[in-house]
Amino acid sequence: MQLSSETSSPPLNIATPRAGHDIALKAINVSKRYPTGVEALKNVSLEIGEGDFFGLLGPNGAGKSTLIHCSTGLARPTGGEIEIFGSDAVDHYEAAREAVGLAPQDINLDWFLTVAETLDFHGGYFGMRKKERKERVDELLEAFSLTDKRHERTRTLSGGMKRRVVLARALMHRPRLLILDEPTAGVDVELRLELWQYVQQVNTEGTTILLTTHYLEEAEQLCNKIAFINGGEIVAEGTSGQLASKFGVSSLEDAYLALVGRKELSRAHVGEDSP
């Protein structure tokens, strides 16, 4: 594996902080109602500080992906404002989008492109010049152990390889804010641990990370701040310990179970009723 915490490989990301903004993502009373009538977000307000590793947790349909889509232009909020490093992310979005890298929940690679082309075109969409793109592509392929796959079309790759390409693509333009929407869903243990190392390294290098996941141990290990979202509303926010205290339990998992009203599933109860 190229990337471990003790790797000597070049930095994955060189996010250059700009002075004057210490908020990476700011959502102010954001709401989203789909044409079907579903109200996916209800006046969501959230702040993610620059350099944070921020976890957004919640059950399926809670509004996690919708908030991400509204922040990256894949959905239009029906109300409120979203700023990324102080720039409007909804209407005059050019500066905001340049600062964001998105690794979506579902693999959405272009079947017609090879691995190297996928990264190269993405860099082009973000205005990177040819020479810079070439260097960055080589660097990322090496870092993600994809060099020998560079000429393969993305549709021929295994699920794990596709996941790596998606993450490499999100990092291609050196975003200051990396959004990872359930990046480890359905991947094997080895790749999950590798991905953890990738993103920890990227965060250490200065990139702010917004992570959604269903794996609570993942959030607990990686994130310095966590928010619970449920029914389109942010219901609690803080560190793992603060959230546990808020719900009067001893772990993040129990806090989550309290949030979704399933306290009876807590591992603390295992064996309690056994004879």
Residues 8-67 within binding reach of another protein (CB under 8 A): 34, 66
Q: Taking Cα atoms as reference points, which of 173, 249, 185, 241 lies closest to residue 211? A: 185
Residues 145-204 within binding reach of another protein (CB under 8 A): 169
Q: Taking Cα atoms as reference points, which of 174, 189, 244, 184 lies closest to residue 212? A: 184
Instruction: Give the whole-angstrom CA distance, residue 209 versus residue 200.
Output: 9
Place of tokens 């699920």: 159
Q: Which stretch binds another protein (CB under 8 A): 19-27, 56-64, 111-119, 264-272?
A: 111-119
Place of tokens 């009203």: 261
Amino acid, res. 70: C
Number of residues that bind another protein (CB under 8 A): 34
CB-based contacts of 204: which residues, under 8 Å, 6+ apart?
Answer: none
**Binding status of residue 112 toward another protein by CB under 8 A:** yes
* 1, 18, 45, 127: residue in contact with another protein (rule CB under 8 A): 127
Instruction: Give the whole-angstrom CA distance, residue 64 versus residue 182.
Output: 10
3-state secondary structure of 218: helix
Q: Which stretch binds another protein (CB under 8 A): 7-15, 43-51, 88-96, 266-274?
A: 88-96
Nearer to another protein (CB atom), residue 80 or residue 238: 80
* 28, 109, 185, 235: residue in contact with another protein (rule CB under 8 A): 109
Residues 129-148 within binding reach of another protein (CB under 8 A): 129
Nearer to another protein (CB atom), residue 112 or residue 265: 112
Place of tokens 């693999």: 107
Residue numbers at the binding site for another protein (CB under 8 A): 34, 66, 69, 72-76, 93-95, 97-98, 100, 102, 104, 106, 108-113, 117, 121-129, 169
